[in-house]
């Protein structure tokens, strides 16, 4: 989390925890994952990253998180000032059908394949104004 806090302060992007309401009261929430923007491990660039509790797969958390994060990435202001990224990269394990459906739904363009720890990673590029992305946000 220290790296994320430093990135947020320096660039206006980093990781956020994903919570779902649970129980009574304003502060009752359950951790279901984390998502955000990280420095791309494949070189220069910023990557959309998401990790969810497997019990929460298929419930729309990744889509909701990706939508909010990309709106933030391509918008003019983040919590610490201007963000306005020109592109965001996404890497997906070749066999991860659900994540592949999500990046296609977002309108990402596939730009290559690179080796990953668990096998090939398909690499995609998201840009403002392409696919479901437009200057006012995601639709």
Q: What are the pLDDT digits (tens) for 123-134?
A: 999 988 766 554
Kindly state the percentage of the chain with pLDDT values over 90.
42
pLDDT of residue 20: 86
Helical packing angle, 61-74 and 97-106, nearest 10° = 40
3-state secondary structure of 75: coil
Domains and CATH numbers, the chain: 2-138 (3.40.630.30)
- Contacts for 125 with CB less than 8 Å, ≥ 6 apart: 87, 88, 89, 90, 108, 109, 111
Contact (CB, 8 A) for 13 and 3: no
> H helices within 1-139, ranges in order?
2-11, 61-74, 97-106
Kindly state the percentage of the chain with pLDDT values over 70.
83
């Amino acid at each position: 989390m220290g790296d994320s806090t430093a990135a947020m302060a320096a660039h206006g992007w980093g990781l956020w925890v994903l919570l779902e309401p649970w129980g009574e009261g304003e502060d009752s929430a359950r951790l279901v994952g984390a998502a955000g923007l990280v420095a791309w491990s494949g070189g220069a660039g910023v990557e959309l990253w998401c990790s969810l509790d497997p019990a929460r797969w298929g419930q729309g958390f990744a889509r909701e998180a990706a939508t909010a994060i990309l709106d933030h990435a391509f918008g003019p202001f983040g919590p610490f000032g201007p963000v306005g990224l020109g592109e965001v990269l996404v890497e997906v394990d070749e066999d991860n059908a659900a994540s592949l459906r999500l990046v296609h739904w977002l309108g990402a363009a596939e730009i290559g394949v690179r080796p990953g720890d668990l096998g090939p990673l398909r690499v995609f590029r998201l840009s403002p104004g392409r696919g479901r992305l437009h200057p006012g946000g995601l639709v």
